[in-house]
Structure 1
C-alpha cells in the first residue's frame, strides 16, 4: 500500500490515491476525508467521478476488509460514517435545479446498506431529478403511502442482500400496482440483475451510473400487468419460512453431536453460530422463492470464505447445512439446493 504522510496526490489517477482515502476513512478522519473531496472539486474533478471512483470504490474495499477479517464490524461502521460525511460534503457543493421529474429512492424493508443508494440519489440530483431519498429499510406500506402522497415518476429500489428478495418483491409489486415503474439495483438482485426481472421490476441497473443512464433514456417504460409476476414461492418456501425458528433451534440442539468442537464454545461463539444458522435458513428460503439454487450456493461460497478468514473450518459450515437438510428430507427442492451447496464446500 502506498502511504502519504502529509497531503494526497492531486489527481484520482495518481497511484495510491485510493489507498490514501481508505486510510483516512479507516482512521475515522472526517476532516481529512472532507478536505480530500473538497480539494478534488476545487481542482475541477466532477462530483460524479468523486462519488463513483473514490467514495463508492473505497466503500467496496471497506466491505472486503471486513469480510477478510482485517477490519472489525465497528471499524467498518465508523468508516462508512466517514464516507457518508464525505458524500454529504460533495453534495453540499453541487446544486442542480430539477428539470426531469420526481423519483423516490429507498432500500427495501430489512436492507440497511444505505450508502450505495445514497450515492445514486446524489447522482440523480446532479442529473436534474427531484429526489425523495427515504433511506434504509423502508416498510412496503410506508413506501406506497409516500407514492400516493407525492406521485413520483419512478421508484428506485435497492437490495444488497439476496435474502431480502421476498420483501423486495412485495415492494416492487406494490409500487407497480400504484402505477409507478420500478428500477432495481444492488447485488441482492444477482450479478446480472437476473432476479430483478423475476420479481417484476421494469428495469435494472448494475450501478449508479447505469441507473442514471437508464432513467435518462426511454423512461418511463411501458408497464405490463403487475399481477403477472405477483405470485412467487411455493409450499416448500412457505414451510421453510414458517418453521424458521424450529429449523434453527433443532440444528443448534444437535450440533454438538455432529461437530463436537461446539461444546467448547463460549456465549459469543454460540450466538454467532445461531446467527449463521439463521442466515442459512433465510438464504435457502430466498433461493426457493426465486426458484434458483445459484442464490443459495453463492451465499454458501461467500460464507465459507468469511468463516475461513475467522478460523472456522468448512466442516463447521457443512455440519450446519446437513442438520438443516435432515429436517427438510420431505422437501425435494430444498434438499437438492442444500446438497448442491454441500458439494461445493467438501
Structure 2
C-alpha cells in the first residue's frame, strides 16, 4: 500500500475534505464508477492510501450512518452506499497490493494477523479498513469478513500460521458472542486484539471480557501490533469471570425475548392511543424496535453496565423522533418492560436508568459532506 502522505498539512487537510465531499456526492447519486474515481484520483494526486481509508472512506461511512439515523436515507440506500464503499476499498487495495509499506518489527518477516467480525456482526467495513491498513504496513493478513461463527474461526486458525487475532464488533449486542470468541481463541494459545464501537470508547468492555488488547482505531491497532503480540495484563484471568451473571438475569431475559416483545406490543395498544391508527407495517417496525430494546437490555445485563442500555435508549429516541413516532411510545415500552421484570432487580434498575435518560435525548445528527 502506498505511503505517500502528499503536501504539507494545511493542503493535505483541504484535499481530504474535498475528497470526502466528492465521495459523499457520488454515494448520494449511487454512482459506483464516480466513487471509485474519486478515491483513485485522490491517490493519484498524492493522498496516501491509509489516509484515504481512514480519513475519507471511514468518516464518510460514519456520515452515511448518521444520515440513516436521522431518517434522511433508507435502509436500501444505506446498504447501496456501503456496498459502493466496499468496492472502492477493493479497487484501492488492488492498486496498492504491491506497495512498499513499512515493515513491522518482527525479526524480518511480517507477522500474520487474522481479522474477522464476531459471530452475528454484519458491519464489516471497519474490519476491512483495519485489514487494509495492516497490509499496507507490511503484515500478512487473513481477512475473514462479516459474521464469522466461532467454531469456523477456530478451524481456520488451526489451519494457518496466525500469530494474533483481531476481532471487530460494532454493536454491543454482540458482546456475549465476542466473549465466546475471545475465550475460544485464547484457549488455543493465541492472543486477541479487539476493537469496534461495541467495546466502548475507552475499551471498558474489552477489559471486562478478558481480551489481550484493545485499540480505539485502526492506526492504534497497527501501532500496537507492530510492537509485538498484545500481552494480557495481570488482571485478565479475573476480568473474564463476570460473576454478576450468576443471577441468571441475562439468560432468562434473552430466552424470554419473543414473549416480552409480544407482551409489550399488546400493552402499547392500550398505553399509547396514537397506536390505534398504526398500519401493519408500523406494527412490524414497532416489534423490531422492541426486539432491539430487549437485545440491548440483555447486553447491558451481560456486562452489568446500565450506561450501555441508556446510550441505546437515547439513540433510539432520536431515531423514533425522526420517524415521527409519538414521544410517549418509547417511555411506555420501557415501563411495560419494567412491569414484566418484577423478579429481576438488575433489569429493572437498567430500565429505570433508561427511562430517566429519555429527558436528555439529543437532536438527530444532520448528514452532509464532512469537512
Matched, 1:269 2:270: no
Alignment deviations for residues 139-171 of structure 1 (CA, whole Å, 9 cap, x no partner): 111111111111311111111000111111101
Alignment deviations for residues 290-343 of structure 1 (CA, whole Å, 9 cap, x no partner): 111010000101111111111113311111111111000111111011011111
Separation (CA, whole Å) in 1 of partners of 2:353 and 2:238: 30
Paired residues of 2:122 and 2:147 also in contact (CA < 8 A):
yes
Paired residues of 1:106 and 1:156 also in contact (CA < 8 A):
yes
Aligned to 2:47: 45
* Partner residue of 1:342 out of 345, 349, 355: 355
Does the residue aligned with 1:111 lie in a helix, a strand or coil?
Answer: coil
Paired residues of 1:193 and 1:204 also in contact (CA < 8 A):
yes
Paired residues of 1:12 and 1:18 also in contact (CA < 8 A):
no
TM-score by length of 1: 0.93
Paired residues of 1:195 and 1:290 also in contact (CA < 8 A):
yes
Matched, 1:322 2:332: no
Paired residues of 2:211 and 2:232 also in contact (CA < 8 A):
no
Separation (CA, whole Å) in 2 of partners of 1:223 and 1:229: 10
Deviation at 1:211, TM superposition (A): 0.8
Aligned to 1:200: 210
Does the residue aligned with 1:76 lie in a helix, a strand or coil?
Answer: helix
Stretches (4+) displaced over 2 A? 14-17, 95-99, 222-234
Aligned to 1:3: none
Does the residue aligned with 1:322 lie in a helix, a strand or coil?
Answer: helix
Deviation at 1:224, TM superposition (A): 6.5
Aligned to 2:369: none
**Correspondences of 1:228-243 after superposition (within 5 Å):** 228-232=238-242, 233-234=245-246, 235-243=248-256
Alignment deviations for residues 227-273 of structure 1 (CA, whole Å, 9 cap, x no partner): 64444323111110121111111111221111122221111111111
Matched, 1:213 2:223: yes
Paired residues of 2:207 and 2:236 also in contact (CA < 8 A):
no
Aligned to 1:188: 198
Deviation at 1:12, TM superposition (A): 5.6
Aligned-residue CA RMSD in angstroms? Answer: 1.8
Paired residues of 1:181 and 1:223 also in contact (CA < 8 A):
no
- Long gaps (5+) in structure 1: 1-9
Does the residue aligned with 2:167 lie in a helix, a strand or coil?
Answer: strand
Separation (CA, whole Å) in 2 of partners of 1:107 and 1:220: 18
Paired residues of 1:26 and 1:78 also in contact (CA < 8 A):
no
- Long gaps (5+) in structure 2: 1-10, 104-108, 360-371
Paired residues of 2:22 and 2:38 also in contact (CA < 8 A):
no
Q: Label 1:83 to 1:12 Cα distance change in 2 as closer, same or farther (>3 A).
A: farther
Does the residue aligned with 1:315 lie in a helix, a strand or coil?
Answer: helix
TM-score by length of 2: 0.87
Aligned to 1:6: none
Aligned to 2:271: 258
Aligned to 2:257: 244
Separation (CA, whole Å) in 2 of partners of 1:47 and 1:31: 18
* Partner residue of 1:93 out of 61, 81, 95: 95
Q: Which has the higher contact order (CA 8 A, sep 6+)?
A: 2
Paired residues of 2:115 and 2:167 also in contact (CA < 8 A):
yes
Separation (CA, whole Å) in 1 of partners of 2:118 and 2:350: 25
Aligned to 1:4: none
Paired residues of 2:23 and 2:39 also in contact (CA < 8 A):
no
Aligned to 1:308: 321
Aligned to 2:6: none
Paired residues of 2:208 and 2:240 also in contact (CA < 8 A):
no
